[in-house]
Amino acid sequence: MIFKALKALTRKILKEEKKKPDSPFNKFLPKGNKNKRKIIRHVTKLLKKKVYKYLNLPVRHNYQWNSESILDVVLHATVRSLCIEDASNSLNLRKPRKVKGYDIELEAFPNEDTILRRIQKIGTLEWMERFERANTDLLKPFKKAKSFSGFTWLSLDMTPAHFWGDKNAKGIMGIPREKGTSYAYKYMDICVSAHDQRVTLAGSYVTQIMNHQKLMKELIKKALEYVHGEVGFYCDREFGTVPYLTVLEEMKVSWVLAIRKNSKIKKIIEETSEYPRVVWYVMGQKEKIGFWLILIKNKKGEIHCFGTNIKVDEKTCIDLVEGYRQRWSIETSHRMIHDMRARTTSKNFSFRWFLVLFAMLVRNAYYLLNKVITGICHVTLKTFAEFVKENRIKDILENEENKTVSAIKEGDG
């Protein structure tokens, strides 16, 4: 009897397992292969195809270099945080094309002039559209698996990419003096705050003539497509103005942000004797918006101000402010993008923005890789990029060597 009951229970469990949908991340894994290196190589090859197919460059019949060769140099520069010229030179020095039977070494990768000329043929708006399509494709498994379910905190930020060149170049904006410059390119993006899934859900460049509130609304709409459940936003103090907060209220999302101390808030602090304190605060003169102002004193005696539309009291506000530390995830994200972004002295706006977009896509592909191989192993960002590049270098050297030998033989004949 016990044996029959166990057998029936086993059948029931197996039946239930069959009903469970297969994880969308599993489709990237090779079947029947348990070698970690081969699994990672297989997955990175698929991810590379997913990204590169949206970044194809214009090609003519007489072009020496295809789109993939150019993007591989950009990838090398991105991972090593090199300028494009250094990346091209280092690859050609390390991996020249050697022709069998001849004492000849040819370049295996395009030079910086070729790369710049080919990439800037595509305008900024088209690069933006391509980025959105590529990013949507990369995030599709996260969306299908409902990875961002329940209450999800997202981080919203506007980040400067410091610029030391001509202040009249296209897209340059003024910023408070930092790192020896008062000028920068800027971009706005939204990423997931969870420490293990800091994927960028939406992003765009920012210029002075753009409507920043309209752009913010569009990015929030895109980000919400990937979240199943309620959403909260951790925002930088830069968004602590009536126009930005009005957008957040219109989108009906929860939000928390650091607040700058103006004269009105300083007066409230002077009248406060006990911390933490929560008061209802109305910002603005003509256009107004109200929210809960949280005043907290740290161990050093410094007073920090936060604003939120979430109803809190003196007890619950501490947990909310502690959670705000997760906003540093987007700072980590920006640091990763900055450390990875290829360097250039070019003033071409399309080219510079392409380098930022490319870094974002590589980083998102990296997070997807580690999601796919969860339980198998974990790889670092640089290891991931080396795997992507490793396959390509091998293919280039083999294919180009055969082409060169054939061409030389035809010339000798």
Distance, in Å, from the CA atom of 143 to the CA atom of 360, rounded to the nearest integer, reads 18
CA torsion sign for 312, 314, 315, 321 is positive
* pLDDT greater at residue 62 or residue 219: 219
Angle between helices 124-144 and 36-52 (to 10 degrees): 140
Residue-wise pLDDT tens digits, 164-217: 888 888 888 888 888 888 888 888 999 888 756 788 899 998 988 899 999 999
Two structure tokens written together for 232: 């909260």
Q: How far is CA 322 from CA 110, 234, 260, 296, 326, in A?
A: 49, 12, 18, 11, 8
Are residues 178 and 162 in contact, defined by beta-carbon separation less than 8 angstroms? yes
Distance, in Å, from the CA atom of 210 to the CA atom of 334, rounded to the nearest integer, reads 22
3-class SS of residue 297: strand
pLDDT of residue 101: 61
Q: Which domain holds residue 300?
A: 259-339
Average pLDDT value over all residues in the chain: 80
Are residues 81 and 339 in contact, defined by beta-carbon separation less than 8 angstroms? yes
pLDDT of residue 76: 81
Task: Look at residue 118 and tell me if it is in a domain.
Answer: no
Task: Look at residue 272 and tell me if it is in a domain.
Answer: yes
3-class SS of residue 69: helix
Distance, in Å, from the CA atom of 216 to the CA atom of 249, rounded to the nearest integer, reads 12
Residue-wise pLDDT tens digits, 226-275: 998 899 999 988 899 999 999 999 999 999 999 999 899 999 999 988 88
pLDDT of residue 309: 93
Two structure tokens written together for 61: 């019949």
Q: Rounded to the nearest 10 degrees, how much is the dihedral formed by the CA atoms of 55, 57, 58, 60?
A: -130
Task: Look at residue 265 and tell me if it is in a domain.
Answer: yes
Q: Does pLDDT of 356 surpass 90?
A: no
Q: Which of 248, 235, 305 is nearest to 275 (CA)?
A: 305
Distance, in Å, from the CA atom of 295 to the CA atom of 392, rounded to the nearest integer, reads 55
Are residues 70 and 118 in contact, defined by beta-carbon separation less than 8 angstroms? yes
Buried b (16+ CB within 10 A) or exposed e, 155-186: bbbbbbbebeeeeeeebbbebeeeeeeebbbb
Number of domains in the chain: 1
Q: What is the mean pLDDT of residues 402-412?
A: 40
Two structure tokens written together for 405: 């030998």
With pLDDT > 70 as the criterion, what percentage of the chain qualifies? 79
Two structure tokens written together for 324: 């705000």
Find which of 57-66, 308-317, 399-408 is predicted with most confidence, using mean pLDDT: 308-317
Residue-wise pLDDT tens digits, 65-90: 888 888 888 888 887 778 888 888 88
Q: How far is CA 4 from CA 9, 11, 257, 342, in A?
A: 9, 11, 60, 65
Task: Look at residue 45 and tell me if it is in a domain.
Answer: no
Task: Look at residue 293 and tell me if it is in a domain.
Answer: yes
Task: Look at residue 283 and tell me if it is in a domain.
Answer: yes
Are residues 258 and 264 in contact, defined by beta-carbon separation less than 8 angstroms? no
Distance, in Å, from the CA atom of 303 to the CA atom of 318, rounded to the nearest integer, reads 13
Two structure tokens written together for 361: 């896509």
Instruction: Say which amino acid occupies 217.
Output: K
Q: Who contacts 323 (Cβ-Cβ below 8 Å, separation ≥6)?
A: 153, 234, 256
Task: Look at residue 315 and tell me if it is in a domain.
Answer: yes
Distance, in Å, from the CA atom of 293 to the CA atom of 266, rounded to the nearest integer, reads 12
Task: Look at residue 311 and tell me if it is in a domain.
Answer: yes
